[in-house]
Amino acid sequence: MPDKCVHCGSEYIGLTCPTCSDREERQKIARAQLKTQQALLETQREVLDAARAQRELLEEQAEAEAERAEEMQRSIEKQAAEQRRSHRETVADSWKLQAQSMADRAWQLLDALPLR
């Protein structure tokens, strides 16, 4: 004579209700899958956090590199301006020296002329 399950009301023959056993087995599998999915989700979150941290680090490095490049550009422009100024002064000084040399030579030639 079949027994009646006190949990689900199914009739069965044997020691345990196959309906409840199947349901418990499916619940165990579902719990295991849920744990696996939660672990996977946590791993994905960790990977995402690591990727965000890496991106932030790369952005900071890119900013620092851009600032160094800008500073280097300003330094190069400053050096170029100084070289242009120095060149102008050198050219001006050479004209002054040339004019002074010509004036000195003119005085030498005047001094060398015999007085009448």
- Answer yes or no: is 51 within a domain: yes
Average of pLDDT values for 4-11?
A: 88
Per residue in 46-98, pLDDT (tens digit) is 999 999 999 999 999 999 999 999 999 999 999 999 999 999 999 999 999 99
pLDDT of residue 12: 84
- Answer yes or no: is 61 within a domain: yes
Amino acid found at 95: W
Going along 2-105, which residue ranges are E strands? 3-4, 11-12
Number of domains in the chain: 1
Q: Which residues does 88 contact at the CB level (< 8 Å), separation at least 6?
A: none
Give the separation between CA 12 and CA 1, rounded to whole angstroms: 9
Place of tokens 């050198």: 90
Both structure tokens of 56 = 């932030």
Is the pLDDT reported for residue 116 higher than 70? Answer: no
Is the pLDDT reported for residue 36 higher than 70? Answer: yes
Residue-number span of the structural domain to which 46 is assigned: 3-86
